[in-house]
Structure 1
Amino acid sequence: MAKIVCVLYPDPVNGFPPRYARDSIPVLTGYPNGQTLPTPADIDFTPGELLGSVSGELGLRAFLEARGHTLVVTSDKDGPDSVLDRELQDADVLISQPFWPAYLSAERIAKAPQLKLALTAGIGSDHVDIDAAIAAGITVAEETYSNSISVAEHAVMQILALVRNFLPAHRWAEQGGWNIADSVSRAYDLEGMDVGVIAAGRIGQAVLRRLAPFAVKLHYTDKHRLSADVEAELGLTFHPDAQSLARAVDVVSIHAPLHPETRNLFDEELIGSMRRGSYIINTARAQIVDRDAIVRALESGQLAGYAGDVWYPQPPAPDHPWRTMPNNAMTPHVSGSTLSAQARYAAGTREILEDWLDGKPIRDEYLIVDGGRLAGTGAASYTATVNATPAA
């Protein structure tokens, strides 16, 4: 029997379950690229429920305990005396979400000799030390596409919130004012601006498609250039690298995975090369930008705004400078954890567990690391320093 440790974010402050705003969520029939939605044998939850918090348990307990497996669910993930560190020592499976990541470092892997599967409920496995997982023979998997559109919608929302100066205007109304001049003194139309996307994968392409009707000039850069047909359809300008793109646009939306090539990509020099008054939206990973360079650029006016929902570490300290820097529209890491997305990634988590526990192959598109090497989506999206032989 397997021991599964699941790290999820805490329940709502007003208790669980919350009072839901809607009675149901739309039923999707597939993803935009034709990939099928998760196909578990069954689910033990109602789509639209809060599944990503501790009491939600991703809807897994009945399924796992009926098979005789042990499920440990906690939000206590940081520090040597955390529940995560105590329970991980003899765990077979670790489940985590990008929004409340269980950082699976090489040190933690070394102390978890039975660990065989690191599963991300959602998209993004950079909280796992990929090289260490490869060396230890750990399979790393995630539910590709489960919350891609959720993140794309959030990014477009934050672009508009920054450019239109929405949050300060809302605060004036909320506080009883009617300060039109104050509200519009930093508000612009998005129409006609140059907007660039870093990495045109599933999320990046979804952002481009959603921005096209705004009559903006669209730019992108990616390791794999899109087809001529897609470029013509959306009117895209391709750039060979982030440096070229950053100089040419008013708005940058970042959608790259975090790996050695993207870490601190937007540093002082690159930000300084951008048009004065540019905007950066980052719903990818916080460490793709230099934290303090962002703060300085906002204070100097080189950047007109910065928004996103990714921080490092997560959760950030109360005094993290992004909480109070000027002209920010930051949110907690919520973009990919809507109730709609949770239904999909909870079902995908169960599908992966069913396959793994039954000794069946995990879908190729869900794989990041398998058999001691990058695999599936991981081979196209991540960089590893070694492809090791799995540990015995």
Structure 2
Amino acid sequence: MKLRCAVLDDFQSVATTVADWSSVADDVDVVSFSEHFASEDELAAALAGFDIVVTLRERVPFPAALIERLPRLRLLIASGMRNSVIDYAAAERHGVTVCGTASTTTPPVELTWALLLGLARGIVPEANALRDGGPWQSTVGADLHGRRLGLLGLGKIGSRVAQVGLAFGMDVVAWSRNLTAERAAEAGVVLAASREELLESSDFVSVHLVLSERTRGLIGAKELGLMRAGSYLINTSRAAIVDQDALLDVLHRGAIAGAGIDVFDVEPLPADHPMRTAPRLLATPHLGYVSQANYATYYTHAVEGIRAFLAGEPVRRLG
């Protein structure tokens, strides 16, 4: 009897076409869900009959309570090699193997710059005005050359964002709790004296930190209050690093020039969520990792993970 595999949040309905699933077709029936299950009850009901689940990033939590409601579940594959919303101890207790996939840093780097440039040059309002017969030019673009780009985090993604900033002729500074002047210099940037100094002095601030107890709420009302009135904030990392209510407040007050946000406290965003209508906000529906190459990698590795599990030799185990 075939095993059943559920692919969650396949919004574009591409999971079974961007990768070759034929190598497991004789043993596994794959069902792709294009709708998001908002509650644990909905998710438990939908997945009750599945032995394998493939989930994207950290969008869907798998706490102990949910795992306990999925007695057939034997393999959980999450894209990427880091996932903070899976209860690994509960998975082990219930005999669930948890595996990951490779991923690339290129798509979130590119989206970071899409948001930054879109904000700086007023691309969305100008394009909409042109299409709708509105005024011919209504904004004055912010220059990048000679302006300061402040990076909160200089890891794999942050360091590549820095390279692009340097190519634009920007003055790039970076800060994180463990960042040293030597490591910053290796990336061609300057270590900021403090988080506060970076926020006060930067024209553009971009977040590239891993979410942890130390970074949760790192940018709150006090920190946003340090930013210049003409500055911009970009967050393609994790929503919880920036206090969302505080961000909405500064956007409505015009205390900063704008924000480019790709991550939210609730995903997908409810229709009446205030982030959908906030002024000075360029928002995208968590597209940072959504690219043809990344999806091909995710789902190809998901197939490899299933095949390896069936052979009794799981690969890329998490936990």
Question: Which TM-score band (shorter chain)?
Answer: 0.7 to 0.9
Does the CA contact (< 8 Å) of 2:40 and 2:66 recur in 1?
A: no
SS at match of 1:196: strand
Residue 334 in structure 1 maps to residue 296 in structure 2: no
Q: C-alpha separation between the residues in 2 aligned to 1:362 and 1:241?
A: 41
- The correspondence of residues 277-288 of structure 1 with structure 2, limited to 5 A, is 277-288=230-241
Is 1:169 the counterpart of 2:129? The answer is no
Q: Is the 8 A contact 2:174 2:192 kept in 1?
A: yes
In the alignment, structure 1 residue 258 sits paired with structure 2 residue 211: yes
State the match for 2:8 in structure 1: 7
Report what 2:57 is aligned to.
98
> In the alignment, is residue 51 of structure 1 matched against residue 14 of structure 2?
yes
Cα root mean square deviation, aligned:
2.9
1:270 paired residue number: 223
SS of residue paired to 1:334: coil
1-side partners of 2:30 and 2:131: how far apart? 44
Shift of 1:323: 1.0
Residue ranges of structure 2 left out of the alignment (5+ in a row): none
> d(CA) in 2 for partners of 1:356 and 1:223?
39
Asked if the contact 1:243–1:270 (Cα under 8 Å) also holds between the matched residues in 2, the reply is yes
* Equivalent residue number for residue 292 of structure 1: 245
Are 1:153 and 2:110 an aligned pair?
Answer: yes
Which residue identity does 1:161 align to in structure 2? G
SS at match of 1:232: helix
Structure 1 residues 351 and 196, CA, compared in 2 at 3 Å: closer, same or farther? farther
TM-score by length of 1: 0.71
Identity %: 27
* Aligned counterpart, 1:107: 65
The separation in 2 between residues aligned to 1:330 and 1:322, in whole angstroms, is 8
Contact 1:126 1:257 in 2 (8 A): no
Query: What displacement does 1:251 show?
Result: 1.4
Shift of residue 327, structure 1, vs aligned partner:
0.9
CA distance in 1, matches of 2:60, 2:88: 14
CA apart distance, 1:105: 2.7
Alpha-carbon separation, structure 1, partners of 2:306 and 2:89: 23
Identify the residue that residue 149 of structure 2 maps to in structure 1: 195
| Aligned residue runs from structure 1 range 1-392, under 5 A | 2-11=3-12, 51-52=14-15, 56=16, 59=19, 61-66=21-26, 68-74=27-33, 75-82=35-42, 84-89=43-48, 91-98=50-57, 101-113=59-71, 115-122=73-80, 125-129=83-87, 139-144=97-102, 146-180=103-137, 182-184=138-140, 187-225=141-179, 228=182, 231-232=184-185, 234-239=187-192, 242-360=195-313, 362-363=315-316, 367-369=317-319
From the superposition, tell whether residues 91 and 126 of structure 1 become closer, same or farther in structure 2 (CA, over 3 Å): same
- Answer with 123-132 or 147-156: which moved more: 123-132
Task: Give the Cα–Cα distance (whole angstroms) in 1 for the partners of residues 89 and 173 of structure 2.
Answer: 33
CA shift, 1:262, in A, is: 2.1
Shift of the 143–247 alpha-carbon distance from structure 1 to 2, 3 Å rule, reads: farther
Q: Which AA in structure 1 matches 2:142?
A: Y
Deviation at 1:62, TM superposition (A): 3.3
Uncovered stretches (5+) of structure 1, i.e. residues with no partner? 12-49, 370-392
State the partner residue of 1:15. none
For residues 31 and 156 of structure 2, the distance between their equivalents in structure 1, rounded to whole angstroms, comes to 32
**Kept after mapping to 2: 8 A contact 1:51/1:346:** no
**Residues of 2 paired with 1:249 and 1:214: CA distance?**
15
Does the residue aligned with 2:25 lie in a helix, a strand or coil? helix
Deviation at 1:242?
A: 3.8
